[in-house]
Amino acid sequence: MGVGIYLKNYVDNNGKQALQLKCRHRGMSFVKSIGISASSKDWDSKAYRIKGAIPSVAEKLSKIRDNMYHSWELYEAGVYTWEELTRRLGSGNLNEDVLTFIQDVFSISRTKATTQSYINAVNAYKLILGIKQVTFNHFNYSNISSAINKWKTKGLSPSSIRSYINHIGAIVNEGFRRGLVDSPFVNHPSYRQKKTTTVVKTATPEMFREAIDKVKDIRDFQALGFWLLQFTLRGMYTSDLATMHLHSRENEADYDSNRYVLHKRHKTGEAMTILYSCEPTEGLLVALQNSIYITHHYKENMLPDRSNALQLFRYDYSDSRVHKNIWDVYAKRSSRILLPFKTARKTFESYALMLNTSAEIRYRLLGHTDTSIKSHYQNWEWDKLSEQIDRAHIDVLESFECEQLYKELIDKVTEVTNQVTASKLTTLHLSTP
């Protein structure tokens, strides 16, 4: 058991033998050629040195040897798993391809979407610097400063630059934690971008009516419908809309009671009991389901199950690329004729605030984390407190004139498209439980 550098048995035409790094422990083994050859008479098998080696070969061997010793020490101390040990032994330390590192390491503990965001940041870094491969050696002050200046010249927003730097910092820190780099990431003051005054974009009923006038086809209708659905469901994002049919529900088959979907916000982990048996939410869900049968009729495996009132599309919800391809079509249309999808959540919050809804109720409506001491004294399981949340929810929908806007949207799409008839959509709406 242990780790060391050894000569292969094969002798080449120059009388030299290739050197191999070998590691064994508890029945597990690892072997890797290190790209150096030596004659048996010059090889010091105890010190792992080549007598009379040229400086460049001696330096390379020294780095491999030091990395080998240090890695084994960390493994014996329990810092590394066997997989991490062999990865470090075979990585060549700082010369490791960072994209490979991300795919092998980050994908284990992070979602596909999060892992992809790290990959995107490294690809952007690689592109702006004009290099073919990004290694940990490329994450130095000079290169990062150069990348920031070039991003600024190309007009990249400060928030995007901040995001890229934060991702690079997380990658370097993970490399430091695993012993691949010597020090953690330092976020130098020169890296930081000035935060501009944020102008929160929100919609109004008047803006939504102007957007309705711009509807030219059924996909425009769907884009506005999805925006309005996000609003009526208290700011759900598209990833939430896509999977809400998988969540538990309350009173699903009881049409004399309020019906709820039990949602947990991904970002905060806060539970949200969302009322969906109100207008226009249920009518909007049915209309969108049926419109999807028209626009996606050629993809039967994507069509929603009509018996599931909350299902919109069928696909692999864990595949971020498929999700993006489906929803980007509508996101772009919504941005063009109204506002981005994310503004639905901001608009809901703004209207709740305008109606003097208490902060505690707004936390529950939006799934925000209440960090105040008051959160430890409130029992939200009480029916009367739950009723206050429902009442605030409905007040916001009424204030935004959601039901009337939905009817106007239905009327508009029946005028501009021959794909969906007025009688079909109206019947579907009226038949909503």
DSSP result, 25-86: ETTEEEEEEEEEEE-TTTEETTTTEETT--HHHHHHHHHHHHHHHHHHHHHHTTSS-HHHHH
Query: What does the alpha-carbon distance between residue 274 and residue 263 come to, in Å, rounded to a whole number?
Result: 7
Q: How far is CA 154 from CA 151, 191, 212, 304, 407, in A?
A: 5, 16, 35, 42, 44
- If one counts every other C-beta atom within 10 angstroms of the C-beta of residue 318, the result is 11
Q: Report the candidate in 402, 113, 107, 374 with the shortest Cα–Cα distance to residue 284.
A: 402
Q: Report the candidate in 398, 432, 397, 428 with the shortest Cα–Cα distance to residue 414.
A: 428
Query: What does the alpha-carbon distance between residue 42 and residue 131 come to, in Å, rounded to a whole number?
Result: 38
- What is the pLDDT at residue 79? 73
> What topology does CATH give the domain 95-191?
DNA polymerase; domain 1 (1.10.150)
- What is the pLDDT at residue 376? 52
Looking only at the bridges linking them, the beta strands covering 260-264 and 43-44 are unpaired
- What is the pLDDT at residue 433? 39
Among 3.30.1540, 1.10.443, 2.60.40, 1.10.8, name the CATH number for the domain at 205-430. Answer: 1.10.443
Q: Which residue has the tokens 């292969």?
A: 8
- The answer to whether 313 touches 244, Cβ cutoff 8 Å, is no
Query: What does the alpha-carbon distance between residue 242 and residue 251 come to, in Å, rounded to a whole number?
Result: 21
Q: Which residue has the tokens 């949207």?
A: 409
Query: What does the alpha-carbon distance between residue 17 and residue 40 come to, in Å, rounded to a whole number?
Result: 7
Structure tokens at 268: 């905060």
- What is the pLDDT at residue 428? 43
Half-sphere exposure of 425 (CA within 13 A, CB side): 26
What are the boundaries of each domain within the chain?
Answer: 2-91, 95-191, 205-430
Non-local (6+) Cβ contacts of 211 within 8 A are 224, 337, 338
- The answer to whether 376 touches 257, Cβ cutoff 8 Å, is no
- What is the pLDDT at residue 427? 44
Query: What does the alpha-carbon distance between residue 117 and residue 99 come to, in Å, rounded to a whole number?
Result: 12
Q: How far is CA 219 from CA 187, 206, 296, 333, in A?
A: 44, 21, 11, 8
Q: What is the DSSP letter of 97?
A: B
Give strand pairing partners of 5.
21
- What is the pLDDT at residue 419? 47
* Sign of the Cα pseudo-torsion (369, 370, 376, 379, in order): negative
Query: What does the alpha-carbon distance between residue 370 and residue 274 come to, in Å, rounded to a whole number?
Result: 18
Query: What does the alpha-carbon distance between residue 274 and residue 393 come to, in Å, rounded to a whole number?
Result: 9
What three-state secondary structure class fits 21?
strand
Query: What does the alpha-carbon distance between residue 131 and residue 415 come to, in Å, rounded to a whole number?
Result: 54
Q: Is 66 exposed, middle or buried (0-12, 13-18, 19+ CB in 10 A)?
A: exposed
Backbone angles phi, psi at 107, to 5 degrees: -65, -20
- What is the pLDDT at residue 430? 34
Per-residue pLDDT of the chain (433 residues; tens, 9 = 90+): 689 999 998 888 889 999 999 999 988 999 988 889 999 999 999 999 999 999 989 988 998 888 888 888 878 888 778 877 887 787 544 556 788 778 877 776 677 888 899 999 999 999 999 998 898 889 999 999 999 999 999 989 888 999 999 999 999 998 887 767 778 999 999 998 877 656 779 999 999 999 999 999 999 999 999 999 999 999 999 999 999 999 999 998 888 889 999 988 766 778 889 999 998 999 999 999 999 999 999 999 999 999 999 999 999 998 888 999 999 999 999 999 999 999 999 999 999 999 999 988 998 899 877 666 565 555 555 566 889 999 999 999 999 999 999 999 999 998 887 544 544 444 444 334 3
